[in-house]
């Protein structure tokens, strides 16, 4: 090792110290940043991708016949044929097919269902389809894992969810507490017994043709649907196709989601989840892409989004959806579903969405808004509070000191209580690089965004018990996609590429 100190680095350290002391260095980017995801900008030829399906309360419940546990993956490495055949000599096969994709996850792996062993090892899940799916995700992760610093990582995650709930089946706990059958409850769609089923998920493994790599997951929640002709008739439908040129550019993920009369409330997201621990909304250890968990206020998210079809007036298209978990006393979550609270924040960019938060509807407005300069305005200050910036806010069902008036979040749609803050394009978010006007980033306005999600999420209101130390805001899930909220026969279609999360190179 060279002993002489490098003058550039001393200068950098000095700048940092001076910055912190004087407060001059208000941008962590000046100190440098790195990618927090395993596949920065989605540029890696050897793709790592998985898919999962959740029911209303983020569980499996029952597996769909012949589909296995609703977790599957498409992970491969690209090899030069000459390398693979271990030859330097002229090789006609190598000239004809210079590159080969070698898949790591087999069809047998993807079809595994409750009760079946992983590589001969029986998981400790018994006949519980919920626990089995969590174990299967970890098993698929072990096959897809890429060694890296500071941590190995596994895959991007496609997430499917149906909002159907059979209240008579009593499958979902209420704010984390088990409850018995009840109903009817017209908040939740359900066509009858079995309405909480998982979709058919078909898979076209990624193949290489010429220099184009392409693969697909697709299917329908309608188990009798004939998908041989694609999305025909009024069936529910999901499809994600991924495509990339070898050695060039980004993967482009093309998404389609269609609701139906039987399945009017559906969600499709592309997620960067934690590689260990719990991800947002999930109380089992997960596998994912975020090898460094972004923490407010120091991170940014960049991506290209092209919305092709909106999904109708009730499509809550999330330009950015972030998920975390902390207890009301500010402590991190530990898997105790009665005291853990999932926290979500999302910006809805569908221009056909107007704020539910209004001066005459304060219960769905967060108690205060914080401007970028730190000024706080209470929601009863009608002259200064930016009502139109907030679509909807709901309070955690286990909050003991909620400010009146309040609206409790849906107690069923997560295994634990949740808190949800949904924002809309508005000038108050412009400072963070977010849309300031409705219509920005929507159909016909494809953009590459660089969002200061870290600083924005630091400014947002989230509930905590009075006098408790502020929670660290660590975002285990960062996603993009849509939630079509109870509206049948709607189609949303969009592409995502170039996704990255930028975090400080020298975390404090
Ligand atoms: C994709 O997968 C489906 C279901 O396994 C299969 O029927 C279809 O032929 C595949 N398509 C292509 C282009 O390989
Ligand atoms: C879970 O949290 C609740 C509420 O704080 C507490 O009463 C309970 O003892 C906790 N359960 C466990 C297993 O720690
Ligand atoms: C902070 O920003 C708000 C909104 O732009 C403005 O009304 C207020 O005057 C500012 N406060 C200070 C102290 O600069
Ligand atoms: C507005 O709310 C704050 C905080 O709860 C309270 O101190 C203040 O009296 C309220 N003002 C009005 C006009 O209601
Ligand atoms: C089928 O879906 C279309 C929209 O895609 C809608 O106009 C039509 O009413 C639907 N038909 C039925 C029978 O639901
Ligand atoms: C808030 C808003 O723009 N709502 C509109 C959504 O679209 C429907 C159908 O075009 C209109 O009727 C609503 O006014």
CA distance 107 to 72: 9
> Omega of the bond prior to 297 within 30 degrees of 0, cis?
yes
CB 130 within 8 A of CB 61: yes
Query: Tens digit of pLDDT for each residue in 393-403?
Result: 999 999 999 99
What percent of the chain has pLDDT above 70?
94
Query: Tens digit of pLDDT for each residue in 120-144?
Result: 898 988 899 999 999 999 999 999 9
pLDDT of residue 26: 57
Other residues' Cβ atoms within 10 Å of the Cβ of residue 400 = 10
- Ligand closest to the CA atom of residue 384: 3
Residues with CB under 6 Å of ligand 5 are 234, 261, 489
Residue 489 sits at φ, ψ, to 5 deg, of 60, 45
Q: Is the pLDDT of residue 7 over 70?
A: no
pLDDT of residue 508: 59
Confidence of residue 176 (pLDDT cuts 50, 70, 90): confident
pLDDT of residue 19: 34
Nearest to 484 by CA among 167, 221, 184, 200: 221
Whether 436 is in the pocket of ligand 2, judged by its Cβ within 6 Å, is: no
pLDDT of residue 21: 37
State which ligand 1 atom lies nearest to the alpha carbon of 207.
14
Report CA-CA distances (Å) from 49 to 2, 38, 54. 42, 12, 17
- Ligand closest to the CA atom of residue 175: 2
Confidence of residue 230 (pLDDT cuts 50, 70, 90): confident
Q: What is the DSSP string of 421-445?
A: EEE---GGGGGGT---STTTTSTT-
The continuous run of DSSP H or E covering 137 comes out as helix 129-144
Report CA-CA distances (Å) from 342 to 154, 164, 328, 432. 23, 20, 10, 24
**Quick one: average pLDDT of 442-457?**
98
Q: Ligand 2 centre and the CA of 330: distance in Å?
A: 15
CA 439 to chain centre: 23
Residue 61's SS3 state is coil
- Give the contacts of 108 (CB within 8 A, at least 6 positions apart): none
- Of all protein residues, whose CA lies closest to atom 14 belonging to ligand 5? 234
CB 252 within 8 A of CB 497: yes
Here the tokens at position 401 are 């000191």
Q: Is the pLDDT of residue 371 over 70?
A: yes
Here the tokens at position 149 are 């610093």
pLDDT of residue 5: 38
pTM of structure: 0.92
- Ligand closest to the CA atom of residue 355: 6
**Quick one: average pLDDT of 272-291?**
91
Q: Is the pLDDT of residue 374 over 70?
A: yes
CB 480 within 8 A of CB 496: yes
Query: Tens digit of pLDDT for each residue in 208-226?
Result: 999 999 999 999 999 999 9
**Quick one: average pLDDT of 380-387?**
98
Q: Ligand 5 centre and the CA of 261: distance in Å?
A: 9
Q: Ligand 3 centre and the CA of 243: distance in Å?
A: 46
- Give the contacts of 493 (CB within 8 A, at least 6 positions apart): 254, 255, 256, 257, 307, 308, 309
Q: Is the pLDDT of residue 2 over 70?
A: no
Q: Is the pLDDT of residue 77 over 60?
A: yes
- Of all protein residues, whose CA lies closest to atom 12 belonging to ligand 5? 234
Q: Ligand 2 centre and the CA of 416: distance in Å?
A: 12
CA distance 222 to 191: 12
């Amino acid at each position: 090792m060279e002993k002489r100190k490098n003058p550039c680095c001393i200068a950098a350290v000095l700048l940092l110290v001076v910055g912190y002391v004087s407060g001059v260095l208000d941008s962590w980017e000046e100190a440098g940043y790195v990618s927090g995801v395993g596949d920065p900008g989605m540029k890696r030829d050897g793709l790592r991708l998985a898919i999962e399906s959740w029911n209303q309360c983020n569980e499996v419940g029952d597996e769909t016949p012949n589909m296995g546990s609703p977790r599957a993956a498409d992970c491969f490495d690209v090899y030069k044929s000459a390398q693979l055949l271990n030859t330097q000599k002229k090789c006609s096969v190598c000239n004809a097919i210079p590159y080969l994709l070698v898949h790591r996850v087999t069809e047998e792996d993807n079809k595994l269902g409750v009760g079946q062993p992983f590589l001969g090892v029986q998981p400790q899940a018994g006949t519980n389809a919920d626990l089995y799916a969590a174990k299967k995700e970890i098993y698929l992760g072990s096959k897809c894992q890429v060694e890296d610093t500071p941590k190995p990582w596994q895959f991007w995650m496609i997430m499917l969810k149906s909002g159907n709930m059979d209240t008579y089946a009593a499958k979902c706990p209420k704010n984390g507490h088990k409850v018995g059958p009840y109903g009817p409850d017209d908040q939740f769609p359900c066509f009858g017994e079995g309405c909480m089923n998982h979709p058919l998920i078909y898979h076209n493994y990624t193949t290489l043709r010429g220099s184009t790599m392409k693969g697909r997951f697709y299917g329908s929640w309608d188990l009798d649907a004939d998908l041989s002709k694609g999305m025909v008739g009024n069936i529910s439908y999901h499809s994600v196709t991924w495509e990339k040129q070898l050695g060039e550019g980004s993967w482009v993920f093309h998404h389609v989601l269609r609701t139906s009369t039987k399945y009017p409330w559906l969600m499709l997201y592309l997620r960067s989840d934690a590689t260990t621990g719990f991800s947002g909304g999930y109380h089992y250890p997960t596998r994912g892409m975020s090898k460094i968990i972004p923490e407010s206020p120091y991170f940014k998210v960049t991506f290209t989004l092209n919305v092709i079809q909106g999904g109708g007036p009730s499509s809550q298209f999330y330009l950015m959806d972030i998920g975390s978990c902390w207890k009301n006393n500010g402590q991190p979550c530990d898997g105790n579903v009665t005291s853990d609270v999932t926290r979500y924040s999302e910006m809805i960019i569908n221009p056909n969405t107007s704020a539910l938060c209004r001066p005459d509807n304060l219960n769905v407005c967060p108690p205060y808004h914080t401007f970028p300069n730190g000024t706080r305005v209470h929601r009863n200050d009608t002259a200064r509070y930016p009502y139109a910036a907030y679509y909807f806010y709901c309070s955690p069902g286990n909050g003991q000191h909620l400010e009146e008036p309040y609206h409790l979040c849906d107690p069923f749609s997560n295994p634990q209580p949740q808190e949800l803050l949904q924002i809309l394009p508005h000038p108050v978010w412009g400072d963070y690089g977010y849309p300031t006007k409705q219509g920005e980033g929507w159909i016909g306005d494809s953009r590459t965004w660089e969002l200061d999600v870290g600083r924005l999420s630091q400014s947002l209101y989230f509930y905590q018990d009075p006098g408790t130390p502020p929670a660290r805001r660590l975002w285990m899930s960062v996603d993009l996609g849509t939630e079509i909220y109870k509206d049948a026969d709607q189609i949303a279609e969009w592409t995502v590429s170039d996704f990255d999360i930028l975090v400080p190179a020298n975390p404090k």
